[in-house]
Structure formats: structure tokens, C-alpha cells
């Protein structure tokens, strides 16, 4: 499903998947119709005295449901921003955050370079959720949780929301810290295991842990009266673990190979100068049947121009505008000495279709998803069908 950009925070695009439009109203309705259950849970777990009948009127209950659903997704966004802040402090580029049916996704342009970075980035999200949970619990304990003279129904409703967000965030921390992919706990365990064993083997161990947890959650979901929430979480964990295993297996096929071994050399790639007009650019697009051009000036890479990013313009505007007016001046680049497996993972974990290869500031070539797929086919690797690479041909 397509996603819609909701805004930007610190330069990072925040997107909402189309499934969000479905799950938000359903979540609000579910919370609203189960207010007595949540009140009972809060009274039991936090020793509170919220009267269920106070919040059970339909209008009040559904208003609380909407506020709680929106609040929950805002805390999920804060969790993803926890990953983002740590990654940016470690000089990793973030292509965006996507909120979807079952939570959020933070997209890094490149894999963590070492176990310390992976550990820190993975731990950033749960740490933020833990802080949020503790803060909301503190607010819940200070706000009134029963009506008496001087306390308004609004204050009690606010206490309910704080208690709800406290218990859900603390529960999500526990779930997220399970040591299996694709959860944060799995990435933390892989980071620690990779200190002692090879990265691929550490990944395999954590993948199997993820599948085991998925099986346990699925069984628990069935035994507790077909709890669809647990079954859905188990399904997502199993798919995420399987995908991670497939990516690692494919990456193993590139063992010992570098970007320089697989890239298309600069002299075999059509480029364009930054002083060319858009008319000339479109002529090149049609002539070369190529939708993206590295912009090269005296052998140095100065940008990237793509058909998708080029504005629609009439004939006059095309003659007036130059490539430098519309190009991306800071495209993602990679060194020819970088491991091919690292390049593969960078493409898989981002929305990029290609990597521009730069050697000591000079344009050296390009490496696209298609180039990597071709290399897998040449190697006769049957696991290529399991990798979530989409075949796109910008070159």
C-alpha cells in the first residue's frame, strides 16, 4: 500500500501507510468499547480507584478511544524517533519513518557499521518507550482517579489516558525486547553475539529465536480464545525473521566481493553536466532510455538528477532551467572498496534504487539493485527468490 507524507521532524520525513487509515478508527472503536476492561486493568495493576461507570457513557467512551488511539501512535512515533536520534548522532542518514498497521518503521540508508552502533540504534527506541511509560505512570499517580468534590470528570479522563499510555508503552517495551527478529531485542542480541561469532552466524541464531517466539505467541493466541492480536504479532515476527534470514543468506553469496567488483564502471554509464538544460536532459532520457543520470563536472560527482524529481515544465521553462537547478546535490554515495553484502543491505533497508560509487571524490560508477540481482543469478544462487529486492531498472 502507498504511504502519505504527514510532515517532517528534524528533516526526517514522517509517513503514514494507507493501513493507518484503517487501523486508527478500529483501534479507537476497540478501546472505546472496552473502557471497562481497561479501567479494571488499571485499578488492578496500579492500585487505582477509577469508577468504570463514569467513563462508560457511549460518547465519553468513544472520545476516550479516539484520544487513546492517537496518543498510542504518537508514542510509537516517539519510539521511532528514539532510533532516529541515535542513528543521526552516529552519522547515519535516515530516509524516513513510516507509521503502519502494527507500529512504525525507521529506514536507514545504510547498515550499522559495527556492533556498538547497531546496539545503540536498536536500544534507542525501547529506551524512549520506557521513559514515556514511566512519565505517564508518574502523571497517572498524581492525577485524581476517582470523583469527589473538586475533581472533574475531565481530570479523571486524563488520568485514564495517562494510565492507558503507561501500561501500553511499558508492555511494548517488554514485547520489543524479546530476543528475536524483527524486534529491537533481536538486533541488540545480534550486536552482542557478533562480538564473539561471525555476523552471519549471529543473525542465524537470532532468526531462529524470532521464529520460536512467533510460534509461542501464536500458540498462546489460540489457547487464550483465538486472540487475534497475539496471532497477528506472531505472524509479523515470523515474516520478519524469515526475511532477515533470506537477506543474510543472499549476502553470504557476496562474501569476499566488493562494490568495485560488481559496479558498472563510470565510462559505461551515461552522465550529464550540470550546465545542461532540461530540454537536453529529456533528449538524453529518451535517447539513452535511462531515468537517472549522475551529474559529473570535470570527473567529480556533483549530484544526481532523476526523471521522477524533475518538475513538469513547458518548452520555454525547459530551455531556461538547468540540470543544476533540479538535481539532488547530496546523493547517497559509496566507496568501491565497500563489501558488496553491505551495499546489498543498504539498498534493502532503504528506498534507494541505486548507489553512486565515488573513489577519492571522482565518479567511479554505479551499483543498482538490478546489478546485484544479475550477480546473484550468475552465481546460480537459488535463494535470490527469497530476497525482498524489487527489480527496478533506472540504468
pLDDT digits (tens, 9 = 90+) for 276-291: 888 888 888 888 888 8
Contacts of 395 (CB under 8 A, 6+ apart): 264, 269, 290, 292, 354, 366, 368, 370
Is the confidence at residue 257, as pLDDT, over 50? Answer: yes
Contacts of 132 (CB under 8 A, 6+ apart): 75, 78, 79, 165, 169
For residue 72, give the H/E element and its range.
helix 58-89
**What's the pLDDT score for residue 40?**
86
Q: How many CB atoms lie within 10 A of CB 95?
A: 16
Which cell numbers hold the place of 290?
535511462
Angle at the Cα of 81 (from 85 to 119), degrees rounded to 5?
60
Question: 375 near 341, Cβ under 8 Å?
Answer: no
**What's the pLDDT score for residue 3?**
66
What is the C-alpha to C-alpha distance for residues 45 and 394, in angstroms, rounded to an integer?
Answer: 56
Is the confidence at residue 254, as pLDDT, over 80? Answer: no
Rounded to an integer, the average pLDDT of 80-89 is 91
Band of pLDDT at residue 394, cut at 50, 70 and 90: very low
Helices and strands in the chain, H and E counts:
14, 10
**What's the pLDDT score for residue 134?**
95
The helix/strand/coil state of 355 is strand
**What's the pLDDT score for residue 30?**
87
Calculate the CA dihedral of residues 155, 159, 160, 166 and round it to 10 degrees. 160
Rounded to an integer, the average pLDDT of 377-386 is 45
Is the confidence at residue 383, as pLDDT, over 70? Answer: no
What is the C-alpha to C-alpha distance for residues 371 and 391, in angstroms, rounded to an integer?
Answer: 10
**What's the pLDDT score for residue 302?**
87
In whole numbers, what is the pLDDT of the chain averaged over residues?
Answer: 80
What is the C-alpha to C-alpha distance for residues 227 and 240, in angstroms, rounded to an integer?
Answer: 20
The residue behind cell 547498515 is: 111
Least confident of 14-18, 228-232, 389-393: 389-393
Band of pLDDT at residue 392, cut at 50, 70 and 90: very low
Band of pLDDT at residue 145, cut at 50, 70 and 90: low
Q: What is the pLDDT of residues 41-83, one digit of tens each?
A: 888 888 777 777 666 677 888 888 899 999 998 999 999 999 9
Which cell numbers hold the place of 247?
537477506
What is the C-alpha to C-alpha distance for residues 132 and 249, in angstroms, rounded to an integer?
Answer: 37
DSSP 311: P
Question: 79 near 126, Cβ under 8 Å?
Answer: yes
Query: Can you list the positions of beta strands (E) in the chain?
Result: 3-9, 12-17, 94-100, 103-108, 264-265, 292-297, 300-306, 333-334, 354-359, 362-368
The residue behind cell 547497531 is: 118
Question: Comparing 300 with 56, which gets the higher pLDDT?
Answer: 300
Which cell numbers hold the place of 358?
565515488
Is the confidence at residue 373, as pLDDT, over 80? Answer: no
**What's the pLDDT score for residue 14?**
85
Calculate the CA dihedral of residues 351, 355, 358, 362 and round it to 10 degrees. -100
The fraction of the chain above a pLDDT of 90, given in percent, is 13
Q: What are phi and psi of 205, to 5 degrees?
A: -60, -45
Is the confidence at residue 268, as pLDDT, over 50? Answer: yes
What is the C-alpha to C-alpha distance for residues 174 and 215, in angstroms, rounded to an integer?
Answer: 17
Band of pLDDT at residue 102, cut at 50, 70 and 90: low
What is the C-alpha to C-alpha distance for residues 146 and 52, in angstroms, rounded to an integer?
Answer: 10
Band of pLDDT at residue 269, cut at 50, 70 and 90: confident
**What's the pLDDT score for residue 83?**
92
Rounded to an integer, the average pLDDT of 244-250 is 68
Q: How far apart are the first and last CA of the chain?
A: 26
Amino acid at each position: 500500500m502507498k504511504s502519505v507524507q504527514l510532515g517532517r521532524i528534524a528533516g526526517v520525513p514522517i509517513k503514514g501507510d494507507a493501513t493507518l487509515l484503517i487501523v486508527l478508527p478500529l483501534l479507537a472503536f476497540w478501546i472505546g468499547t472496552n473502557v471497562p476492561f481497561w479501567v479494571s486493568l488499571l485499578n488492578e495493576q496500579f492500585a487505582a480507584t477509577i469508577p468504570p461507570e463514569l467513563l462508560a457513557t457511549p460518547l465519553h467512551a468513544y472520545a476516550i478511544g479516539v484520544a487513546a488511539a492517537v496518543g498510542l501512535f504518537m508514542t510509537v512515533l516517539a519510539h521511532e524517533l528514539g532510533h532516529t536520534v541515535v542513528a543521526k548522532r552516529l552519522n547515519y542518514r535516515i530516509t524516513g519513518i513510516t507509521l503502519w498497521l502494527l507500529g512504525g518503521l525507521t529506514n536507514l540508508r545504510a547498515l550499522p557499521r559495527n556492533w556498538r552502533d547497531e546496539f545503540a540504534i536498536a536500544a534507542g527506541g525501547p529506551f524512549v518507550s520506557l521513559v514515556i511509560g514511566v512519565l505517564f505512570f508518574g502523571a497517572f499517580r498524581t492525577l485524581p482517579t476517582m470523583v469527589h468534590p473538586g475533581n472533574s470528570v475531565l481530570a479523571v479522563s486524563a488520568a485514564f489516558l495517562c494510565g492507558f499510555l503507561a501500561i501500553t508503552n511499558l508492555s511494548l517495551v517488554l514485547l520489543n525486547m524479546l530476543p528475536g527478529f524483527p524486534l529491537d531485542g533481536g538486533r541488540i542480541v545480534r550486536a552482542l553475539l557478533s562480538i564473539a561469532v561471525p555476523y552471519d552466524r549471529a543473525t542465524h541464531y537470532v532468526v531462529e529465536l524470532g521464529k520460536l517466539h512467533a510460534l509461542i505467541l501464536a500458540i498462546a493466541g489460540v489457547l487464550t480464545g483465538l486472540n487475534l492480536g497475539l496471532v497477528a504479532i506472531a505472524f509479523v515476527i515470523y515474516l520478519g525473521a524469515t526475511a532477515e534470514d533470506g537477506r543474510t543468506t543472499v549476502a553470504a553469496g557476496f562474501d569476499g566481493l566488493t562494490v568495485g567488483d560488481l559496479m558498472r564502471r563510470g565510462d559505461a554509464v551515461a552522465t550529464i553536466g550540470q550546465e545542461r538544460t532540461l530540454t537536453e536532459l529529456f533528449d538524453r532520457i529518451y535517447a539513452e532510455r535511462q531515468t537517472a543520470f549522475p551529474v559529473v563536472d570535470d570527473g567529480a560527482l556533483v549530484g544526481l538528477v532523476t526523471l521522477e524529481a524533475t518538475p513538469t515544465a513547458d518548452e520555454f521553462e525547459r530551455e531556461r532551467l538547468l540540470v543544476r537547478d533540479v538535481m539532488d546535490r547530496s546523493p547517497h554515495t559509496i566507496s568501491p572498496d565497500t563489501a558488496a553484502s553491505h551495499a546489498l543491505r543498504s539498498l534493502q533497508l532503504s528506498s534507494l534504487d541505486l548507489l553512486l560509487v565515488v573513489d577519492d571524490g571522482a565518479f567511479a560508477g554505479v551499483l543498482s539493485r538490478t546489478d546485484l540481482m544479475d550477480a546473484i543469478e550468475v552465481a546460480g544462487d537459488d535463494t535470490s527468490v527469497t530476497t525482498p529486492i524489487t527489480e527496478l531498472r533506472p540504468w
